[in-house]
Chains A and B, each alone.
Chain A
């Protein structure tokens, strides 16, 4: 009986041990404290060394690759933008580029030649000085086919470098390439010569393909250089345990240390949004991204937390394929637009983080037209349009929703259901459909989806965003104009003209005119602009939410 008692007492003993273990454990160490091995011997009075200021930031997904010329995912931007720097940087809510590696720049009168004057005294984290030659190494890699690391099928998982399609800058030697020539004027001056006038070129220079990449990493690690980044940014990679954490420490050579108070940044990966919030509440993280609207609402009442909101720069929309009946009829499109209750969707599904979209570009963009008010929710009017189209009894159509979460559609299915319920009130039955995300993008580009949800988070704040949807460029070039039967000569001409002049007022006027025409054609229904939230511990100071993709911890510090 004694041995039986032993067996049966195991659970009790285990419970006691676990409880004692738990109780005996000290609370999680504050992340700002020094590691145990750094403690000074107590017998010797030592000069107090300030504890390194560490921030643990809970990210929803890990970086894929740390190579600015070969990344296509937001999680990778997060560490990459702390390790590398571009010629310019966006660091405030205006979203406009300011000097970074380039101290100043100038454009020729015809907007074809852009000259950048590099900052002196900047070095890569491996000690290599930054000059025209070392800066241009990464540009040549992407643009010049004779560069030793130009073989994108070997060095880039995307199979090509971002230059090729991102800004249509093309390849050296190609008469149609957007970038025709790169000149090294002197040790610290470089010039880009473009094929066509381009007022937007400056906007490109803060985006990842224009960041300076140290070549020593490629010379040492070859195809695995993406795991050993060398940049000129404020931090260097210390440790990367995939899907667990990625640790950055100060770049000892950085030229502007004062702007980055944190000594160490740990990006800790917790995929579940609610668990990330709990990690911040527990003090294991001091900040988090990819906040769900519900969690933002839950955090709002917690005095130990603060919520920051990026200015709403994105848009989530429903697009109609105007070449598929009955969507080829303007009355049908107007009926669906007027039967969509955007206000109710935003009020009920976005926990105060969204604003109903009245047009494709939000108020932050030059070219947003304050006179365009979209399509008021009016079921009677919608029924009238359907009647005019000869479809007063309604119709049935496939409505495709995104299978992935994005800031503008954190749960696309729920939004789709709300829209379908609205449309049902005028007799339109929307069959909700979805599929694998890769296939979804292919099918919409091929014009197979009659109605689909999509959205956009920009890389820069400019009216040329409208090109994405309405400029008449070939299929497969990123434009959604041809996928959906939208072909309007006036719009196309306006967009081409606006993309080639420097006079900002004139450009804005053109984009505003486009907004009016597009609103009349109803190529879809812009649904929402969202303010992307971050949650931080109340002790975190100095975070500036920029209206672009990444959460830059410039200026961030943690109060004691």
Chain B
């Protein structure tokens, strides 16, 4: 088992390196000058050139990648060593913005706001993760039992009803659903707030920026209640599509498993229905469901632009979207890379859970 886990972890490294190259090239090959895009139309060329130099954008592409990965101090040292060894003239150091490189955990600063990207990530990633976790939790708690029920009661009204709900969930336009949810639950019933993560009058020590966790750590139950009230509606809206997907996937996997010989054998042995379903059928039907849950979780962790925009949720998706609009390429690089890492780890988790669910996978 341990060897399996280590092998999977090591396999993630080249994947992430590949992602870093693709992200870097993708941003740099887009036509247009990012510095011109972020400055005023009539910015003097001298000022614009100074920014390009400060950001290292005047350097060759491979050097820029080296700076991106290892920082400008390491890149300068490497340039110096190469020149010394090859006998070429020693390069004149260029004053650029200090940057330690993503390999050392420095994503640089936003070109537009000047804020450190790591600092922005520390607030936005928890916001997105909190929302995504709540949405996935909702989707699992509703979708999976609904799928099981539909499979057990195949062909009945329960099956039809469940799959109707699942189909509605899958095909529901999030934008419309979000606005309708606010209209009903915030405007008409006043059950929940219309948006944001916390009421403006609620004080909270933001240690982890996971508001639920921060509330519990600080014993601030008022903030906990308020954060929950703010979380419910966006989580339900965001979880609607995955809920439908989970329900449909669970039903089809369960139906396939229910037709297997071992299920018939279990029933022939006189096992209780609950044991047949939970111990024999569900466990075998779970693999594809877990795969889908992993993929959906990775997708939700990468941010949900629409949900975050409608509910004023300051998460990763909205941030990335704005950065694309503003051509804030350091943020685009940083955020895309983080999203890629999340996907890789979500898939790793899925692989690990395979090993837990099905012991045969450990040896393949």
Interface centre among A28, A72, A438 (most CB of B within 10 A): A438
Asked if residues B54 and A243 are in contact (CB atoms below 8 Å), the reply is no
Asked if residues A37 and B314 are in contact (CB atoms below 8 Å), the reply is no
Question: B190: which of A7, A282, A404 is its contact (CB, 8 Å)?
Answer: A282
Is B269 on the interface with A (CB-CB < 8 A)?
no
- How many residues of A sit at the interface, in one of the four size bands? 35 or more
A1-36 contact mask (Cβ, 8 Å, vs B): 1 or 0: 111110111110010001001110101110101111
Interface 9-mer from B15-23, B82-90, B255-263, B272-280: B272-280
Q: Give the CA-CA distance A241 to B315 in the complex, in Å.
A: 12
Number of A-B contacts (CB under 8 A): 211
Q: Which residues of B contact A245 (CB under 8 A)?
A: 196, 200
B29-69 contact mask (Cβ, 8 Å, vs A): 1 or 0: 00111111111111111011011001000000000000000
* B199 closest partner in A (C-beta): A29
Question: A477: which of B42, B201, B325 is its contact (CB, 8 Å)?
Answer: B42
Q: Which residues, 57 to 85 on A, are CB-close (under 8 Å) to B?
A: 61, 64-65, 72
Interface 9-mer from B142-150, B286-294, B333-341: B142-150
Q: Which residues of B contact A438 (CB under 8 A)?
A: 32-34, 36-38, 327
Asked if residues A441 and B41 are in contact (CB atoms below 8 Å), the reply is yes
Question: What's the tally of chain B residues with a CB closer than 8 Å to chain A?
Answer: 77
Asked if residues B309 and A442 are in contact (CB atoms below 8 Å), the reply is no
Asked if residues A8 and B148 are in contact (CB atoms below 8 Å), the reply is yes
Q: Give the CA-CA distance A476 to B178 in the complex, in Å.
A: 44
Is A487 on the interface with B (CB-CB < 8 A)?
no
Decide: A275 near B310, CB < 8 A? Known: A29-B199, A244-B197: yes
Shortest Cβ gap from A265 to chain B (Å): 10
Q: Give the CA-CA distance A279 to B149 in the complex, in Å.
A: 38
Interface 9-mer from B2-10, B72-80, B106-114: B106-114
* A271 closest partner in B (C-beta): B309
Q: Which residues of A contact B312 (CB under 8 A)?
A: 244, 268-271, 275, 279
Asked if residues A25 and B192 are in contact (CB atoms below 8 Å), the reply is yes
A161-196 contact mask (Cβ, 8 Å, vs B): 1 or 0: 000110000000000000000000000000000000
Is A417 on the interface with B (CB-CB < 8 A)?
no
Is B12 on the interface with A (CB-CB < 8 A)?
no
* A64 closest partner in B (C-beta): B113
Q: Give the CA-CA distance A442 to B113 in the complex, in Å.
A: 22
Is A127 on the interface with B (CB-CB < 8 A)?
no
At the interface, is chain B mostly helix, strand, loop or mixed? Answer: helix
Is A266 on the interface with B (CB-CB < 8 A)?
yes
Shortest Cβ gap from A67 to chain B (Å): 9
Q: Which residues of A contact B123 (CB under 8 A)?
A: 241-242
Interface centre among A22, A54, A477 (most CB of B within 10 A): A22
Q: Give the CA-CA distance A156 to B236 in the complex, in Å.
A: 42
Q: Which residues, 249 to 301 on A, are CB-close (under 8 Å) to B?
A: 266, 268-272, 274-275, 278-279, 281-284
B182-219 contact mask (Cβ, 8 Å, vs A): 1 or 0: 11011101111111110111110000000000000000
Shortest Cβ gap from B26 to chain A (Å): 14
Q: Which residues of A contact B183 (CB under 8 A)?
A: 278
Question: B114: which of A31, A54, A223 is its contact (CB, 8 Å)?
Answer: A223
Is A436 on the interface with B (CB-CB < 8 A)?
yes
Q: Give the CA-CA distance A274 to B178 in the complex, in Å.
A: 11
Decide: A1 near B274, CB < 8 A? Known: A29-B201, A157-B112, A268-B312: yes
Asked if residues B194 and A275 are in contact (CB atoms below 8 Å), the reply is yes
Q: Give the CA-CA distance A35 to B204 in the complex, in Å.
A: 13
Is B222 on the interface with A (CB-CB < 8 A)?
yes
* B306 closest partner in A (C-beta): A272
Asked if residues B31 and A160 are in contact (CB atoms below 8 Å), the reply is no
* A478 closest partner in B (C-beta): B42
A-B pairs, 7 with minimum CB distance:
A438-B37, A27-B190, A22-B191, A243-B314, A4-B274, A478-B42, A270-B312
A-B contact pairs, 24 of them (CB 8 A): A1-B274, A4-B274, A14-B138, A18-B236, A23-B191, A25-B192, A35-B201, A35-B203, A158-B47, A160-B43, A160-B44, A242-B115, A242-B123, A243-B124, A247-B200, A270-B196, A272-B310, A275-B310, A279-B195, A282-B186, A282-B193, A404-B325, A476-B44, A476-B45
Instruction: List residues of A whose CB falls within 8 A of some B CB.
Output: 1-5, 7-11, 14, 18, 21-23, 25, 27-29, 31, 33-37, 54, 56, 61, 64-65, 72, 152-153, 157-160, 164-165, 223-224, 226-227, 241-245, 247, 266, 268-272, 274-275, 278-279, 281-284, 404, 436-439, 441-442, 445, 476-478
Instruction: List residues of B whose CB falls within 8 A of some A CB.
Output: 31-45, 47-48, 50-51, 54, 111-115, 120, 123-124, 138, 141-142, 145-146, 148-149, 178-179, 182-183, 185-187, 189-197, 199-203, 222, 225, 228-229, 232, 236, 272-274, 277-278, 309-312, 314, 318-319, 322, 325, 327
